[in-house]
Each structure stands twice: as C-alpha cells, then as structure tokens.
Chains A and B, each alone.
Chain A
Amino acid sequence: MTDSPPNPLVTFDGVSLGYGDFTVLRGMDLRVMPGQVVAMMGGSGSGKTTLLRAVTGQLTAQAGRIHVFGQDMAHLDGEPLRAVRQRMGVLFQGGALFTDLNVFENVAFPLREHTHISEQQILERVLDKLQAVGLRHAAHLRVSEISGGMARRVALARAIVLEPELILYDEPFAGLDPISLGITAQLIRTMTDQLGCASILITHDVAESFAIADRVYLIGQGRLIAQGTPAELSSSQDDYLQQFLQGRPDGPIGFHYPLTPAFERWLSTRKAART
C-alpha cells in the first residue's frame, strides 16, 4: 500500500486579482494543504482581504486559476458554489455577527441553516464552541451588549461550529487584548490539528502568526514577495522582508502614500482658490 500525498485544499496558479480594470495582485502561486496553518501577511492595503475574497468565490480571478477543494472557482455558481462554501468557515474582519440574533443564535445559525440536528444537539454543540472561545456564559447576551473583542471570538465560534475543512481568518488578532490574542492563536493551531482542517490567516501580526503558522506568504507591491516556513523567512536577508518583520520605518516599503498627478491637480486648485 502506498501513501499518496494529500490533495491541496486551495491552489492558486498565476492568479491576478482586482476590481474592474484595477489589478491589486498579480502572479500569485500558492498551495494550502490539509492540517496546515498558512499565514498571508502584508501591510495595510496590500490586497490580503482581496486574496481571501478570491478563496471564498466572492471575487473571480482576472487571470490564472484558483482551485478550492479541487474545483475550479472560475466556473462555480449557484448550488455547486454553495456546496464548496459549506465546507469552509470564514471569520470576518469586523466579526459580521447578525445584530438581530443573540450570541447563542449567531453561533447556532450555520447549524440551523445547514443541518437537521435536534435542538438539544444544537445547544450542546454551540455551548461547546462558545466554551472553546471562553464565552459559554455570554450565550444569552445580545450582540450589542458585548465588546468588539468578544464579538470577534463569537464570530470565531460561529466559523468553526460546522467543523469545516478550511477556515479563513481575516485579521483574527486585530483588536484583541494580549490574553485573548495568545489564546486565539493557540485555538487556531489546536483547532487545525484536532479537525485536520486547514487554516488561512490574513494578518499583519508577525509574532503571533509566526508562532503558529506552518507556512507564511508575504505579499506587497502587488505581488508575492516571499514564502516559506517562519524559520526560513526569519533567516532571510531580503530587505523588504526584514523591514516588514522588524517593523522598521526605513526600507523599500514606503510609509507615505505615493504622489499622483490627481493629488497635484487637487492641490493646485486648492491653492488657486485661496489666492
């Protein structure tokens, strides 16, 4: 008996992504295997969230091919797309909790929509997931009664309640206090190991993601800049990479928004208006 290597859950082959005529990212090649925690890193506005929207099928590639669970996302629509989405969980940047439901009902939402399990089983599973994020005793609260960090943890519980094969986290560490941050990072790692699923983190938090990731992709300047294990990236001498990892103000990544003709035109009309 031979052990064939597992199929990748997500593959990008020469993918370009953007909105309308505007291209945000080009030439993206990446692979996510079952059991892996993969971190996609980059500065603000580098196109990390665009990448995530391509995996969920909210955005189609301008060029290249995206496969999720072996299915070509370019031709997926309607029921087949829903079938693919049912196998993934997504944690949105702001949590995206349903404001007309309480904490418990938010986490129960995917179970009620996609399964036919009994009310008793729903109660058990939801409380179990809320326990994992430390919010079992907040199940009865309204979404307006919990803090931003708590909302993120509820959204995390909702993303994992169906025990998906692929979990996408959009900025899971933003706005969390140090304790929740460490616990959330560990939770992502243990969830991935226990379920044998894959996790994709969209983040710019270097320390936490390097501690749990199997593979890191760094994007910037509209392309993939570096990839490898956290150890490989840490030892790399690449200027861009080192500037990002160490958070240095000087280096190839500019802090200032680039000067454009549109800005110069705007400024000259402002100045002309004053005189």
Chain B
Amino acid sequence: MNALSQRIAALGHGFVSMITGLGAFARLFGAILARSGVVLRRPRLTAQQVHFIGNYSLLIIGVSGLFVGFVLGLQGYYTLNRYGSEEALGLLVALSLTRELGPVVTALLFAGRAGTSLTAEIGLMKAGEQISAMEVMAVDPIRRVLAPRFWGGVIAMPVLAAVFSMVGVLGGWFVGVMLIGIDPGAFWSQMQDGVDVIDDVLNGVIKSLVFGVVVTLIALYQGWTARATPEGVSRATTRTVVSGALAVLGLDFLLTALMFAH
C-alpha cells in the first residue's frame, strides 16, 4: 500500500512540476514580450544577435539544405519515374521544402546549433555571476540579455528556413536536371505553376516563425533556469535540443493539420 501511494505521489509530483515548468515558461515569455521595447530603442543589440545566431548557423543550414535537395531530387525521380511523370520533380522538391522540410529541418538544426549556444551562454553568464552583476548595476537582464536574443532568433529563423529551401531547390535541380537530365523547362514551369504563394510559401514562413519563437524561447528558458554549475549547464543544453526537437515536430503536425486541411 505504501509503495502504491508513493508511486501515485511521484506521478502527481511529476505532473505538478511539469505544470509549474510550463507556467514559468509562459511567464518568461510574457516578461520578454513586455520588455521588447528595447528592440526598437536599441536595434543594434538585436542586430548583433541576428548576426550571431543567423550568420553562424548559415553554413550548416546551407550544406544541409543542399544535401536534402540532392536526396529529394533522387528519391523523387525514382518514384515519379514509375508513373512517367518525372517533369513534376521540380514541383515535388519545391512543395516538400517550402511546406515541411524547410521549416522543420531548419528548426531542428537551429535548436542544435544556435539553441544550444544560447542556453550555454546564458547558463555560463549565470555561473559567472554576470546576471547578478547586471541586476546589481540596475540593468534588467531580461531586457538587456534575453529580449535581444529572443528577437534575434525569431528574425533569423525564417530567413534561415528560406535559405534552406532555396538551396534545397537548387540541389534538386542539380540532381534532376544536371545529372539525370530532366527537361529544365518542365522542372521550373511545373514548380512555378504548382507552388502557391499564400498556401505554400506563406504557410511555410508562418511555420518557421512559430518554430523560431518556440525553439529560441526554449533555449533561453533552459539557460535562464539552469543550475549555475558545469553539470547544470550541460543538462540544460541537452534539454534544449530534446525539448526543442519534440516541440518542433509536435507543433509541425498541429500546424500542418490546421493549414492544409481543405
């Protein structure tokens, strides 16, 4: 009986701490939004973060986009070839990238590249008393440190997703047109004809924006709440990748269901 009640208590404790965590997460989001005036007053702070977060993720995003495009081109060709409709390869590559792979894979890479560095940076700032020092200097660390990083991530993410999709389309074109020899006119015209600016491109941009908000916020929250020890910071960076990836995949399903239901 005792063991049973202990298990129920542990379950309840886990549930309560999960809800408490979600509450703290939402409060941090609110606090960052309330202090976002700094983005307009001191745009340089955010610009630095867009540079830091975006620029340093560019290489991994570009290279990954290229390879994903290569694979899409190859697999798409093999499948379409069965039905004799390989001219539709351009459309297949473009739709896959703008609707799904662009935002999702970019967000996963973004969590691994930029998210972890944000978490580690803020965790180490805490460990080195930098956050306390800022508070004691009458500088609000949420306004000075978190808000510019949050908006930096939110701005960088759709741009990175666009770069990913663009490079991916070029990768598909390279494999389909240059290597396999599909007619370039068909490749591009089918794409132009079949991809809708609102339905496909805009929805993809909205997805990447949502992922940008969620992944950046998770990274900042994990850094902000990390224990100020080497072990605490390492756990927090791991949690950023795990929760970030799960949140992106879960949200992607939800958004897809909402956006593409006819």
B137 interface residue per 8 A CB criterion: yes
Q: Which residue from B121, B129, B136 sits with its C-beta under 8 Å from A85? A: B136
The A-B contact count (CB < 8 A) is 49
Looking at A34-42, A89-97, A126-134, the stretch in contact with chain B turns out to be A89-97
Chain B contacts with A in 126-142, Cβ cutoff 8 A: 128-130, 132-133, 135-140
* B125 partner residues in chain A, CB cutoff 8 A: 98-99
Q: Tell me the complex Cα distance, A171–B27, Å.
A: 36
Q: Within 8 Å CB of A82, what residues of B?
A: 138, 140
> Cβ of B124 < 8 Å from any Cβ of A?
yes
Closest Cβ neighbor of A94 among chain B residues = B129
A99 engages B137 (CB within 8 Å): no
The winner among B121, B129, B140 for most chain A CB atoms within 10 A is: B129
Q: Which of A19-27, A108-116, A217-225, A229-237 contacts B (4 or more CB under 8 A)?
A: A108-116
How many residues of chain A are within 8 Å of chain B by beta carbon?
Answer: 21
Q: Chain B residue with minimal CB distance to A56? A: B136
A114-B133 in contact (CB<8A): no
CB 8 Å contact bits of A64-93 with B (1 = contact, 0 = none): 000000000000000001110110101011
Contact of A58 among B128, B132, B137, B140 (CB under 8 A): B132
- B144 sits at the interface (CB 8 A): yes
A96 touches B121 (CB 8 A): no
Q: Are B128 and A94 touching (Cβ within 8 A)?
A: yes
How distant is B136 from chain A, measured CB to nearest CB, in Å?
Answer: 5
A90 and B137 contact, CB distance less than 8 A = yes
**Interface pair B130/A97, CB less than 8 Å apart:** yes
Instruction: Give Cα A75 to B136, complex, Å.
Output: 17
Contacts of B137 in A (CB 8 A): 85-86, 90, 109-110, 113
- Verify if A177 is at the interface (C-beta below 8 Å from B): no
Q: Which residue of A is nearest B52, CB measured?
A: A100
Given A92-B129, A94-B128, A113-B144: A100 touches B121 (CB 8 Å cut-off):
yes
Across-interface contacts of A93 in B (CB, < 8 A): 129
The CA-CA distance from A98 to B132 in the complex, in Å, is: 11
Q: How many residues of B are counted as interface, with CB atoms below 8 angstroms from the partner's CB atoms? A: 15
Could you tell me the distance in whole angstroms from the C-beta of B129 to the nearest C-beta in chain A?
4
Q: Which of B128, B130, B135, B138 contacts A114 (CB 8 A)?
A: B138
- Which of chain B's residues 242-257 have a Cβ closer than 8 Å to chain A? none
Complexed CA–CA distance, A85 and B138 (Å)? 5
Q: Would you give the 0/1 interface string for A111-144, flagging 1 where the beta carbon is closer than 8 Å to chain B?
A: 0011000000000000000000000000000000
* A86 pairs with B138, CB closer than 8 A: yes
Contact check, B136 vs A99: say whether CB atoms are below 8 A apart: no
One of B124, B130, B136 near A90 (C-beta < 8 A): B136
Cα-based distance from A253 to B97 in the complex (angstroms): 71
B117 → A minimal CB distance (Å): 11
Q: Does the CB pair B124–A96 fall under 8 Å?
A: no
Contacts of A58 in B (CB 8 A): 132, 135-136
Which of B130, B140, B144 has a CB less than 8 Å from the CB of A96? Answer: B130
Q: Complex formed: what's the CA distance from A36 to B241 in Å? A: 52
CA A83 to CA B135, docked complex, whole Å: 12
- The one of B124, B133, B144 that contacts A92, using a Cβ cutoff of 8 Å: B133
In the complex, A85 Cα to B128 Cα: how many Å?
Answer: 20
Closest B residue to A55 by beta carbon equals B136
Cβ–Cβ contact A96 & B133, under 8 A: yes
A97, B132: Cα distance in complex, Å: 11
Q: CA separation between A94 and B132, bound complex, in Å?
A: 12
A90-B133, A113-B144 known; A96 vs B128 contact (CB < 8 Å): yes
Query: What is the distance, in angstroms, from A166's C-beta to the closest C-beta of chain B?
Result: 12
B130 touches A99 (CB 8 A): yes
The CA-CA distance from A98 to B125 in the complex, in Å, is 8
Alpha-carbon separation in the docked complex, A109 to B139 (Å): 10
Q: List 8 A-B contacts (CB under 8 A).
A: A81-B138, A85-B136, A88-B136, A92-B133, A93-B129, A94-B128, A96-B130, A99-B125
B interface residues (Cβ-Cβ under 8 A, vs A):
121, 124-125, 128-130, 132-133, 135-140, 144
9 interchain residue pairs of minimum CB distance: A96-B133, A85-B138, A96-B129, A82-B138, A86-B138, A90-B136, A56-B136, A113-B139, A92-B129
By a beta-carbon cutoff of 8 Å, the part of chain A in contact with chain B is: 56, 58, 81-83, 85-86, 88, 90, 92-94, 96-100, 109-110, 113-114
Known pairs A58-B135, A110-B139. 4 more at Cβ < 8 A? Answer: A83-B138, A98-B133, A99-B124, A99-B128
